[in-house]
Structure 1
């Protein structure tokens, strides 16, 4: 293969060859329907050798495929395609070169772009630490871990929020990771820190980000998240896709929660878990941080508390899910593994539940039939006894049937035996 095809032919490397007659026999036998394994056994050659010649190799001196390489012009073309239209895919580069009349294997292309690929990988892992001013940014992320709660292994989702300047951390546990949990966690972090930063840097989760405009290089946030940020007067930001290191402070915080706060601990209840996390985050805020060489709490009080803006007077609720449920035979409905009671007269009827951060309000038509404080204990039962009134009725005294005593026929009663036992005592 010459340079006119885009290749530079290095000194030939000989490889074991098969005589032309043997190659003819391979193809004749293949034409009769023989498989490569049977042909190899018949001719006494390796199966891969048979396959290579059946694919078109000729019975002459062959150049080893690993010695093929693109010339400088074609290599520059391959690198340009690799960085551009092919988006880093060597297979696509080989296909595009083939469409342009350059026959190059995927392995040849991979060798041509190897240096550029190494540069990209180095750039991906290299980090330039970006320090923000006090009160400017809070980074957020969700993590999950299996946790033992009341002798049951439960998947717990938790939001970790870190103030980028002081490194103060806030953690809140949830049973799910949905938009309501994201917004509730962010709002809880604002309240915990006692103020609102200028911006919140988050992930590209669908709960917050509806999409991206690649041409304009803009982020399209979810309308509910936009309304939330407008209500709290904070600017939303999202890290670049596949570049989670741009929010490395909270990425480290999530790992720290998993390995230090939770680790292999067991908890009596979900409330016990949250109490532990609340105490743990205060303990961590008092330790000297490895990067700033100061305790986050000290750094926060000195520089960042006053830089945060005031909390809104009346923020909008962060939760507002409406769910349709059918009342079970035991007068309960299921919401997030927790069961809530409704009046027993509604058994088998359909009801609607409005779930907020702290409350579950149940409607039958337009009527509110039940209001419960929201529970986060896995598989808990929240029951209002009034909902079961009338479900069990005690029989009236006049309807009781006297129980006959067989001993009466013998002239004895249980009272006689009681007297004997009492006398013996």
Structure 2
């Protein structure tokens, strides 16, 4: 079988001579070969296209496909050759390897992960990740790498450790270098950010939750063991390590002091941010000037005074103020709003592009009595939530089997960064053996609505609800009265009658 270069040489020789035999002498092949390729070209066929010839292994392809599919593409070619040889195949192992390779390629093509293009919005997403930095005096360093998704603005800061105080310091320095606070920050599931995962629900570290509240930013984490969900920061780490960490490829000198590494990181950021980006065809520094209009201002105090206290809108389009749930428009889910009391009314304000605007107004309520407005939610659909907790152990399954109240409690406890979640789940399962599962589930639902996740909160709520049901109302009737009876008057006057007789 001729390759494409040889076929083109044959056709070129024929066009030059106009004779099959003369072209065959020039190309060094048989004149029948020249005739075949010329006739294919005149018939409109592709001469360079390879024609499939029947092979002895073709009758075993169905078995090979079965073996590769059942093993999810992990079976070795020598194992496949041994299986089909026992079935009567007499060919060589090289032929089997080629056939297995083709089948595996077809399987990968059918299972390839498809990515939907992500169009970044200005001021919405920021991603950070860690990279292994160079050693200074035998001490390891780490590179804090940040990527602003829309403007492609990068920040790299070297540190000696990755503890929570260092993370807060790097986050503060990054936000001040950017000049604002984005809405979301995406990172890995490290212990400083995510304490644990329960039923695929990330339980946030309470300390990082407080940091997010301070800056008015929601901290999100990617899927576990899925770095492709934050590819922007992964690329930033790769580029920073290639330019800052001494290797045989870049021939950089070792850093004598930590100050030299800081200066190198600063120079690296100036270079990449002042260079035209390949995709946007603009400099990140120029785009950052536009994106700053969409960023939140850096807070000078823990809470915003003008519009009240900041609150994060939960997945059920509610905010919690003084232990009471108030609804807000569902378009504001996973955003930050401000809430304040004005007399007996709660006013909820949102800051959008056009400025601050009132989005909800509710009468003041008490804990245990949530205020929900129907106009804040879209019409209901008969569709299950895809992000409901899924049990990964027998203990989690026993807890989630209590009912929807247990599910709501787990989701809310994870979002609030509650402590000792697993022991409290085990306590709820144990209480279900003393009380009915419905009573425990209702108590868990009340705790989720009120935001009560402390120790013994579930027992108190359960005892309170059980006490309300055990009290029977007292109603007055003729059979029982506190008024004195008239039996004493029944003999009135009988003594006088006896005296007269």
> Given the two structures, how large is their TM-score scaled by the length of structure 2?
0.38
Structure number with the higher strand fraction is 1
Compare the two structures and name the one with the higher helix fraction.
2
